[in-house]
Amino acid sequence: MGSIHDWKPELYDQKLGFVSNFGKDVVSQLQAQPGEVILDLGCGTGDLSYEIQKTGASVLGMDYSPSMIEQAQRKYPQFDFRVGNAADFSLDQKVDAVFSNAALHWIKDAEDVVACISNVLREGGRFVAEFGGKGNVDMIVQSIYKVLSEQYGIDAKKRNPWFFPSIGQYSSLLESKGLRVTYAVHFDRPTPLEDGDNGLFHWLNGLAADEFFCDFTESKKVEAFQHICDAARPVLYKDGTWLADYKRIRIVAVKQVSC
C-alpha cells in the first residue's frame, strides 16, 4: 500500500500463496472476538480477512491496489473491501483492532501510517501486525543490487521500495503515536518459494519487477531475473527449492487510554 507496485492478483494467489498461509498464524495472535470490528490493512486478495471473519468479527479490508481489491471482491463478495492508502486514511467509526500482514514494509512514510492506525483505534484497541524487519530478503536484495550495478550500470538502492525497520525503530514510532507495545519479536523465517526452480523468478516478477525494473522491457526483465537467480543460487537454492531469506517483525500494541 502506498507503493507504485502494480500488483498481479492471479500471480499473487497462485505463486505467492505462502504470504497468506503464514499470515494465518498472525490471525491467531489477533484473538478476534465475535462482534468486534477489525480493519485488515493491506488486505491483498482477502484471504486473511476471510480467516478473521470466521471468528464472528466484522471485517473491513483495505488495500492500495485496485486490482487486489477487485480480486478480493470477486472471491468474497459478501465483505466490505475498499481501496485506500495506509499512510492517508480515516474511517467513520473507531475499530477494535487493526490487523496487517506482509504489507507495511511497502510504505516508507511509516510515521503517517502509524498515525492513521492510532487515529482509527478505539482506546484500548489493539494493533497486530507482521511485516519485513531489518535484514529481510537481504541476499535477494544484494543480488539485485549486484546485477543491476554490474550488468546494467544502475544504482538499485535508489529504486528499493521497502522499509525494513528494527524492533527498536518501530516500537519507538508506535510509542510516539500513543500505542503501548506489549509484544515484539524479530525472527528468521527461511521461506520455501513455490514452483521449484522457478520460485525466485516468480518472486522477482511478483514482488520486485515494477520498482527495480520499471524501465526494462519484458525480455530484458527475464534476462535480469536469470542473472539474479544465478547470483543468489549458491546461498538460497537447496535440494530443488528456493529458500527466501525472510526476517520478520511481529508486533502487538495497544492504544493507550487518555487520562
Q: Identify the pLDDT of residue 257.
A: 84
pLDDT of residue 3: 45
For position 182, what pLDDT does the model report?
97
Residue 195's pLDDT is 84
Q: Are 120 and 249 in contact (CB under 8 A)?
A: no
What are the average pLDDT values for consecutive 10-residue runs of the chain, which has 259 residues? 50 48 78 97 93 95 94 94 97 97 94 98 97 97 98 96 97 98 95 91 90 95 97 96 95 88
Cα dihedral 213, 216, 219, 225, rounded to 10, equals: -20
Q: What integer pLDDT is reported at residue 13 of this predicted model?
A: 53
pLDDT confidence of residue 164 = 97
Q: Which residue has 487515529 as its cell numbers?
A: 119
pLDDT given at position 12? 47
Distance CA 259, CA 256 (A): 9
pLDDT given at position 17:
47
Q: What is the pTM of this model?
A: 0.89
- The pLDDT value recorded for residue 21 is 58
